[in-house]
Amino acid sequence: MTKKVTIIGAGLVGSLLAVLLRNRGHEVSVYEKRSDPRKDSADGARSINLVVTSRGLNALKCAGLLSEALGISVPVYGRMIHAKSGEQTFQPYGRDHECNYSISRGEFNKLLIKEAVKLGVRFYFDQTIDSIDFTAKSFKSSNGQVTYDLLFGADGAGSQVRKALAKFNPAIYEENTQWLEADYKELLMPAVKQKEYPLQKIALHIWPRGSHMLMALANQNGSFTMTLYLPKQGAFGFDKIKSRDDIKNLFNSEFSDAVPLMPNYISEFENHPQGALGTVRCAKWILNDSVALIGDAAHAIVPFFGQGMNCGFEDCTVLIDLMGKHSGDWQKILSEYENSRMPNANAIADMALENWVEMSSKVGLPEFQLRKKVEAWLEEQFPDAYKTRYRLITYTLVPYALAQEIGVIQDQILKKLCAGITDVSQLSKDEAQKLIDSEISPFIQKHDFKSEMF
């Protein structure tokens, strides 16, 4: 039985969900507070560049849009760490062909909306949602009163649907937002010439400085989207920057090798908005068989594992699989969706917060770099038994919660193997084999990871 489905939010997750639901015959309408992005060439200098990984790729494959999305992306094979001295160190993400895909949020969103419209999805832009009546299954928009059979809140971290649910029953729909101590600004490193990259395009470039950092991700036109993270307050805080000289002093002191490649960084810093980063957790995502939160509306996370969009896209594919499993019984579909996705969303939220510390503080440390070499050695020596937590999350479909569990086990093994050594040549393969056999192999066998590989 087809449903009259309404999605609030025409961002990446809402637009992809519209495509997937329309492909399965549902009547789909999408309401969005912003203007139509297809009519605006500017990205607004507000959104962090995205990376698409296994879960996102799987969702795009399910929607029949994989090749189109890859066509507007740039492959990224690892991190390039920029020390204050100017020294650069490359840390590969995975093995062989494994890579992430850097993509412009704005261009990606346009692609998804165009595909949804082609399929017959109706979009309503510049729509303010004034109130939602969950009992009557209706809401008031700029277009008037709208009724629905099934409502999805895909309206991001500041979700109006989530807030309406919390107001409807605050005891059940409790929400919590944990703000990161750092904010961000997006800047630009332009192409040197037409489509000539000023840095290696195959890497995510990081200038880690402890409480603050600069990041760069390649765009297709030869430029890099730069994201500057600074504490809200403190020695390197946004609150300390009062003048153009303060901006110059910060960049010349902390990111001096990037300065010659960023001719407009001062004016961009002055004019681009300062964004906040937070983690949103909810006690409940659904209401009976008629309402569900999805993507950031249910579980916004900080961007330091590159999984926010990928997690939201995986929400969509899980939902589609459950539609097939439960044959139109939306009470069962939504209930199992919530029960299966919430633990995984909480797990990746925790790991993304951990990665903020890793990327801003640890990646440049000798002990961290040794650890990465030991991990690479373990994967080379035991390819069927050892896959890093990063690779499980980024290149497989192993549930986030299981990847988090095995990551704890791996951390203990790495501590034991790294103790007292300065180089991988000092490692004992026999010792590593014993640790894997006793601690990792039983876990892999119990959860049958191979069946989850992408």
Secondary structure string (H, E, C) spanning 182-200: EEEEEEEECCCCCCCCCCC
Nearest in space to 307 (alpha carbons), one of 335, 334, 279: 279
Does the pLDDT at position 368 exceed 50? yes
Is 233 in a helix, a strand, or coil?
coil
Mean pLDDT of 362-366: 85
Tens digit of each residue's pLDDT (9 = 90 or more) over 326-336:
998 999 999 99
Give the range among 36-45, 65-74, 338-347, 353-362 with minimum mean pLDDT: 36-45
Q: Which pLDDT score is estimated for 45?
A: 47
Distance in angstroms (rounded) separating the CA atoms of residues 216 and 80: 10
262 versus 441: which is more confidently predicted?
A: 262
Q: Which pLDDT score is estimated for 149?
A: 96
pTM over 0.85: yes
Nearest in space to 436 (alpha carbons), one of 401, 398, 386, 402: 386
Give the range among 41-55, 69-83, 229-243, 432-446 with minimum mean pLDDT: 41-55
**Phi, psi dihedral angles at 91 (to 5 degrees):** -120, 105
Tens digit of each residue's pLDDT (9 = 90 or more) over 295-307:
999 999 999 999 9
Question: What value does the mean pLDDT of the chain take?
Answer: 93
Residue 451 binned pLDDT confidence (cut-offs 50, 70, 90): low
Does the pLDDT at position 453 exceed 60? no
Tens digit of each residue's pLDDT (9 = 90 or more) over 166-183:
999 998 999 899 999 999
Q: Which pLDDT score is estimated for 1?
A: 67
Tens digit of each residue's pLDDT (9 = 90 or more) over 90-130:
988 887 789 999 999 999 999 999 999 999 999 999 999 98
What residues have CB less than 8 Å from 322, skipping those under 6 apart?
A: 332, 333, 336, 337
Distance in angstroms (rounded) separating the CA atoms of residues 413 and 196: 43
- The two beta strands, 131-133 and 224-231, are unpaired
Does the pLDDT at position 246 exceed 80? yes
Mean pLDDT of 136-156: 96
Residue 454 binned pLDDT confidence (cut-offs 50, 70, 90): very low
Does the pLDDT at position 8 exceed 80? yes
- 133-167: b or e for each residue (b if 16 or more CB lie within 10 Å)? ebeebbbebeeeebebbbbbbbbbbebbbbbbbbe
Percent of the chain with pLDDT over 70: 97
